[in-house]
Chains A and B, each alone.
Chain A
Amino acid sequence: MPVLTARRRSPWWRHSRLWAALYALMLPTLVGMLVFVYWPNWQTIRYAFFRWDGALTEEWRGGENFTEAFADNRFLWTFQLVGILLIANLIKMWPSILVAVVIHRLRSARWQYLYRVLFVIPMVIPALVWLLLWKQFFDPSAGVLNGLLNATGLMGVLHGLDSPDHGMPAVAGFLNTTGFGWDPARPLASWLCLPLKAVHHVFGGPWGLGLFGFALALAAGGWQAARRTWPLWLALLATGWLVWGPWRLLPLAGLALALGEWRWRRLDLAGLGALRWWAVILAAVALVLVLLSAVWTEPVKAFAYGTPSWLGHSKLVIPTIIFWGFPWVGTVGVLIYLAGLQNISKDIYEAAELDGVGPVRRLIDIELPMIMAQVRINLIFMTIGTLTDYGLVLVLLGPDGGPANRGLVPGLYMYSKAFVQNEFGYACALGLIMAAAVLLLTMVYQRYVKVDK
């Protein structure tokens, strides 16, 4: 009887039907992406090299749009606000993390579920509606914010803090002018200024103090770790030249490195955490001093009648943008962190409980490291959003960025260039520069924000 054997087929043919089917299924999505995502992006790159008015005029400019952008003081100045917003948004990430941790620690699964649902519900409201609502909140006479501040007495506190004689402007003036000299009329203040004098002489001021904290954080891993993070050290040295000055650069950088190596060789019994804590403390003190001496330097004079114009006063615009979204508990962020927290094995918690680990240590040593992947993702999205978003400012302040153009962010400048001044080509170039900045920061996060697996 003849033995029927199957004809031998090569592996490629064996799977061809499946592959063809898969590719065919992917094709609509791929085509859609090519047409609606990649093609417009390619056009953006192309038009960045042209002078294009959005209609019929197209003229090749080569790299001139880019050279003009790098010489455009207005564009470069917008990054100043972005820097402030980045720092503020770094702080604003924390309420979401804390809320996620709190929800995660609820014992009742039913309440956990209820809170998750409560967080999802606001997602159906379009972002534009939120913005318009907040615009109403900021209304000087009828807004909820001013009403709340007046009702709770906080408006009076703000008014007091705004006093040129004993409020924040006085502190800033003190720090900037008299903080480093003895004023017999104010002996207590003069005693307090002595540490500030030391900071000024040793570190060159609050910025120098903050930079030293950063150097300590970098050096905490010792000489070997420093070699691996050499780009950051290069940046530190370059910044140190400007902030510390040439005479302080080597001694301070060397001191930070020596302290790190000293700790690393276990010659100092304080742990790795102590050095990093010192770095954080120094940086925090420096930040507070910088903010105090640089931000509220003059009286705003807007709180006297209880109706400050949060969007109409040039000195209040930036705090208002930062305050927007209070209490800064983002729906998506909470859910993402919650998902990460729920992946933590119960065994770890039980072991921690046995070791007597308290709630704060549990947060710092267990929960935060375990959700670092989610934190990093959110950090990246936050950075992208801060650098590129302008919808918030456009709706709240208009295309000029509000009074004295204080709210002008790079994205808004790009929008204004394109849709108000019809310089679409230049706006494309600005967009590409912003995209490059985002990419650079993302690479830094990927490399230096470690995910502890």
Chain B
Amino acid sequence: MNVDIVRPDAAFSSRYAEAPRRLGFLAYLACFRGIVWREVLRFLHQRERFFSALVRPLVWLFIFAAGFRQVLGVSIIPPYETYVLYEVYVVPGLLGMILLFNAMQSSLSMVYDRETGAMRTLLVSPFPRSFLLLSKLIGGVAVAAIQSYVFLAIFYFWEADISHEAHLAMLAVPALLFAVLIVNAATEFISETTVSRLIIAVGLIEVAILAGAVFYWQLPPPSMNYITVFPALLLAGLMLGSLSLFISSVIKQLENFAGVMNFVIFPMFFASSALYPLWRIKESSPLLYEICLFNPFTYAVELIRFALYGQIGARLEDGSLDLTNLYVVTAYTVFFLGAAVYAYNPSKGLIARRGGPGGGA
């Protein structure tokens, strides 16, 4: 063995010889911002995902809820002070559904080969792994929050007391854009950059139209509190995100997203207070009621429901606040997050033991 190719000192004094930098607060901030920025950017660039994410809750709101309205009467339970339409009752559940789908989609995609590379690039960052995973989760929640607010905006105008024609007029510009996009998908008549610009332009025009509508009809502020719901969305999103992150580290192979739908999303969504109040469930099946009380999703939905009316929980008979939802969601978040960080821990974790993701030979 002749090791004669070692470079002279001078050659290695290039910029590649710099010593490791100290990672201070600013570096952490840059890393956090970069991870969240990427998640949001990716979401905005995947138009199919954007549309399906938006259409899903709208289908439930406009079709399912409209049909269910006559079947299911919702009595006055906190936080509601009057009888509410079923559409109003179901809003927190649909917000929860947006969070749930997003969490499962972004975290479980790590299980698939397509995404394991992205996960590994994340994990070779010199920052602590728990920080990286938390940043990624918050990025996912940011994406879900964007969708939630678009949904709430649509709900606001649906709820508003304006004529049917006005509703249709508001939809005209997006519908036109949608048609152009579909035609363009087949013909590729318009270039990618033009499409991007077109979407931004349409977005601005639509915002202007909506603002004009609010001004013209003197629309009242939304019936729900869109500001206080934000921390609730954040916390619930973190809980669901860390749950699916944990699942992604435990499950080695999932055939496809349909499997997750069947075994995680649907049971969680239906066995909760998202679609019907718990006392209704108790009347028909005490067992299902018990299951619902175990389901973390129930507490997430209830937390969002109260937050939509500026409350944390129901007021109990002795005048104190019922903080169960907040406590349970926080506890589940801490538990699942801890489990996920443990699973991704390089020396103890589950990944080390079974050699994934994308590890193998």
A, B in one complex: no
Which residue numbers of B lie inside 8 Å of A, CB to CB?
A: none
